[in-house]
Structure formats: structure tokens, C-alpha cells
Amino acid sequence: MNLLAPISAVGWVTGVFGAEKSFVANPIIGNAKLNEWGLHRARVKTAERMARLRRGMMTGVSDADKAAYNRDGFVIKENYLPDDVFKRVRDEVFDQPLPAREMRQGQTVTRMIPLSHANRTLLPEATTAAWDKGLNRLTGYVAGRTGAPIHFIQTVIAEPSRKKADPQTALHADTFHSTSKFWLFLHDVDVEDSPFIFAPGSHKLTPQRLAWEYEQSLTARAEKRAHHSYGSFRINADQMEALGYQPPRQVAVPANTLVVADTYGFHSRSPSSKPTIRTELHGHLRRNPFAPWNGLDLQGLPGINHRQLEINNWWLVKTGQKNIWRDVGMVRANAEAEV
């Protein structure tokens, strides 16, 4: 008899009422019978209703940004930082080695350099830009809930000579509810530079999308594509068209462009035909989608806010879990991959 079973069961039930998305890790979320009765559909519908309610209570986001989000599911702002500030951000990001971790997914390596309290003296301009309150409000609006995002410098290194596919190049939704990511690109991102791809309007929960979500939920637990079974549903262009969404669009943008996107909308990374290295200030925000309030975010508490990555790394070590992000020591943000 598994003595931990009752504790696990409490965790699974709590997960159903939270942001948990995996049809494999949580047998309640993955239960075919419950999903046949509409569990997943109810989670999707309720989360969307609550996000709308919370967005209605938010202030400090311009009407233009709200309109762009409502129409497309993302907001793009060119020339985001003043020129002199942008230059200082670039200088401090590229002119010194910084403490980094890396993770490989097929032919793509992602490098992460935390924009945290610990690195604030090394990266004063970049942390100030990423922690900006206006940006935080916009990130919250797109996520459908305000809170304290996780911030880091992200470098995406594409090595197409390695044949193993990058799972992030398949069109997908990150989870079953609104959640946001932002990128402030530190150099031009051309169509050849593995840009972000997003299907405009695919963040909208239509009756067709809801029916598709229901269908996926019936078989997701047994699905062979691991990310799909973990609740990050994959879709192809034809299926997406059948749902009535617009075709995906490559977001190729000049340096100093901010993109904030709701990754419930279908998106991916473009596969790269040549080796590329792309660096950006990055943040993401994902919270319990069912809470009727904004704020009251545990991760926003002093002592936790801007320390989330370090706390997570510490916890993994403490509990003997594997960290998929390998510590690679001090490297330059735009250096070749170490892993």
C-alpha cells in the first residue's frame, strides 16, 4: 500500500482547481470518463470567464494596448525603450560574462540569465527595464491576471545541423487558459532568425475551439506527443484553419521591439535554416486561472519576488530533483551553446 497516496490525492484535487495542466501527472485531469462528462471543457470555460472578469477590473493599460490584445492576442511595440537606455541595456548584457543556465530541446538551446535581485548590480539597466511597472501591468492584462512575472535574459541558439527536431517548433497552446510571455528583442529578428510565430486571434475561446479542447481531452492522457499529453496541446495549420482562426504569422521585428503575447493562442518558434543566436529580455506570468481576484500573488511577496528562479533551483537541489536547466557558469549572453 502506498502510504503517500492520500497526500497525492489531495494534491491532484487541488491541482484541478489550479493551473495544473498535465493529463499524465494528474490522473483526475487526465481521467477520460471525467473529461467525457466535461471536466476539461468546464476548466477551459471557467478560466476564460474569470480572466475576462479580472481584466475588467484592471487599470493602467492603454485602450490601444487592450484593443490590440483583444483583436490579436498579442501587443507589439516598436522603439520600446528610449535609444540611450536601449544602448545601455545592450552594452551591459553583451559586454560581460553572466551567470547562466542552459537547456537543450533538439536542435535548439535556450540560455537563461536571471534578471533577479542577485544580478541587479551586474545588470541594473536590464532589470529596471524588465521590472517596469507599466510592463508588468500589460503582462498582467495579457495573462488575464496581475502578478509578479519571472524575468530573465533569454538566448535562443538554433543549430539546424543537428537533425533532432525542436518540440517548440510545433504550433501549440502553452496551457488551457490565458498566460503571458514577453520578449524585448535586443537585435533585429529577421524571418531567418527563428522568429516567434503566432496565429492572430487564436487566443479567443470560440465554440469551435471549446469543442476541439473537449475532443483533445478525451485522448490526451494516452497521446504519444509528450507535450500534448502534458496539457500543451499541439495543432497543425489545417486543424487550426478548420477552427476558423487566421493562419499563423511570423513576428519578425527590429531591435528594441517589445512583444507581449497570450500563449493560450497558438504559437511556435520558426524552425531555423541556418545557425542563429537571438537574445532578448524575457518574462512570463502564469497563475491560478480560477481566482476571481487580481494581485494577492504569493510570488509577489518581498523575499520571493525577483528571486523565484533561485528559489526554484534551491528547491530542486534540496529535494534531490533533476534540474533540466544546467548550470554553465559565467558565459556571455550571445556565446555559443555549452550543453
Residue 316 CB, nearest approach to Fe ion (Å): 22
C-alpha cell at 47: 478560466
Residue 263 CB, nearest approach to Fe ion (Å): 5
Question: Residues 6 or more apart from 9 whose CB is under 8 A from it?
Answer: none
* Smaller CB separation from Fe ion, 113 or 197: 197
- Residue whose CB is nearest to Fe ion in the complex, by number: 174
Residue 269 CB, nearest approach to Fe ion (Å): 8
Strand ordering across the sheet containing 249-251: 249-251, 196-198, 267-269
Residue 267 CB, nearest approach to Fe ion (Å): 6
For residues 92 and 123, is the Cβ–Cβ distance under 8 A? yes
* Smaller CB separation from Fe ion, 48 or 174: 174
**Residue ranges that bind Fe ion, judged by CB under 5 A:** 174
* Smaller CB separation from Fe ion, 72 or 174: 174
* Smaller CB separation from Fe ion, 92 or 223: 223
| Three-state secondary-structure class, residue 5 | helix
* Smaller CB separation from Fe ion, 125 or 213: 213
Helices assigned H by DSSP within 77-236: 83-94, 124-130, 133-143, 207-219, 226-229
Instruction: Please tell me the distance from the alpha carbon of residue 178 to that of residue 120, in angstroms, as a whole number.
Output: 30
* Smaller CB separation from Fe ion, 287 or 306: 287
Residue 213 CB, nearest approach to Fe ion (Å): 16
Place of cell 528594441: 256
Residue 268 CB, nearest approach to Fe ion (Å): 7
* Smaller CB separation from Fe ion, 16 or 170: 170
Backbone phi, then psi, for 277, in 5-degree steps?
-130, 120
38-57 as b/e, with b when 16 or more CB fall inside 10 Å?
ebbbebbeebbebbeebbee
Residue 227 CB, nearest approach to Fe ion (Å): 9
Handedness of CA 258, 264, 266, 267 (dihedral sign): positive
